[in-house]
Amino acid sequence: MNDNNSLVQISQAVEVIKTAILQSQERTIRNANADVLALNYAVGGFISQQSKLHQWGSGIIRTISDKLQRDMPGLRGFGYENLKKMRQFYETWLPYIVGSPSATQLESSVNGSPTATQLPVLKAKSLSNIFDVETAHDFLSISFTHHMEIINKTNALEERLFYIKQTAIYKWDKYRLRDLLKQDLYHHQSLMPNNFLATMPKRVQALKAIGMFKDEYLLDYINVEELGARDESEVDEKVVENAIVQNVKNFIMTFGKDFTFVGNQYHMEKFGENHFIDLLFYNRELTCLVAVELKLGKFKPIYLAQLQTYLQVLDDDVRKPNENPSIGIILCQDVNKAYVEYVIQRYDSPMGVATYKTSTDMPEKLRKSLPDMEDLKRLLSSND
């Protein structure tokens, strides 16, 4: 066997083994999550049912927690607040779990005292028909912490299932999930006016792009006062752009998965004419460049003409042979969606129009709940 063949075989073997290891680790984590969820559901169900049967108040639940800590030194996750969360988890999903014993069944058990074997059961086959195989897998694969974030920030079943699936697919940590819940991703997904289906050569690619971009973005790290302006009228696109560049990590997280920042005021020259793209990104999932133009105020049709020119030059002079046609996004503060849908269809480059809000656009109560800008800057600089 020559050296080249040996190197190829070694490389292939390493990839096979690496894949096996990663799959095993994923199964271990998934199984561990399922076990924790099952335990928490059982404990939550027990506390819920006993509270109804015997009028347990917060004092008894707190005493149970304290005694658990004493009887099992080093036990974590069973404090008073967590026991209440387990009860909430159980009561939220009880209508969709098949086979959990009722309070009446527990009351009629020997001496009226339930045993551990009678506690509510949560496993894949006990999930009702609202869970297909894939959804059941997703439900059991995300952590209890993720579940509680979703339960506390949503109300509708469809919305909860959406966040469960997205968390499982993209492996969001609790902070990323919390941000997207705050941004209300569920109600803003796939709603951006665009011409992707009409202009992108592959339907699959167009559908990916439609699902990737939202109709509104919350740029809550942009604060007019922090930018040194006395009022909003003094802030132009350049100022907003600079704020985004200074917080580019946050902006990429706002945009979503697989975006890489290429540059701002990206310079292109064509036939002696200079063009500057406000913000240029590359998306690995779509395998294309994404040009973003920032506009103050209401959408104007002329913005599309400008962006069309930028995309044409990008595709002719910057795009690599293996990349898909570039996409353009206009971010403005106000838009008539029906009007945009009407005018955008006359353009043959893939484009969309979304709105954005800064901290100054939000209600005073919500603004006060946001993190301090200086703290955010220190956090960003610490991650460099």
Whether the per-residue pLDDT at 326 is higher than 90: the answer is yes
| Structure tokens, 219 | 């740029």
Q: Residue 126 half-sphere exposure, CB side, CA atoms within 13 Å?
A: 18
The pLDDT value given to residue 97: 84
Q: State pLDDT tens for residues 266-321.
A: 999 999 999 999 889 999 989 999 999 988 889 999 999 999 999 999 999 999 99
Q: Quote the CA–CA distance of 379 and 248 in Å, as a whole number.
A: 13
Closest CA to 330 of 342, 317, 344, 316: 344
**Average pLDDT for residues 1-24, to the nearest whole number?**
68
Q: State pLDDT tens for residues 85-104.
A: 999 999 999 988 876 554 44
Whether the per-residue pLDDT at 166 is higher than 70: the answer is yes
Q: State pLDDT tens for residues 196-231.
A: 999 998 888 888 888 888 888 877 655 544 444 434
Helix (H) or strand (E) holding 198: helix 196-199
Domain spans of the chain, in order of start: 3-141, 188-382
Predicted TM-score (pTM) of this structure: 0.58
Contact 165, 157 (CB under 8 A): no
The pLDDT value given to residue 30: 66
Q: Which residue has the higher pLDDT, 108 or 29?
A: 29
What is the rounded average pLDDT for all residues in the chain?
80
Q: Does domain 188-382 have CATH number 1.10.287.110?
A: no
SS3 91: helix
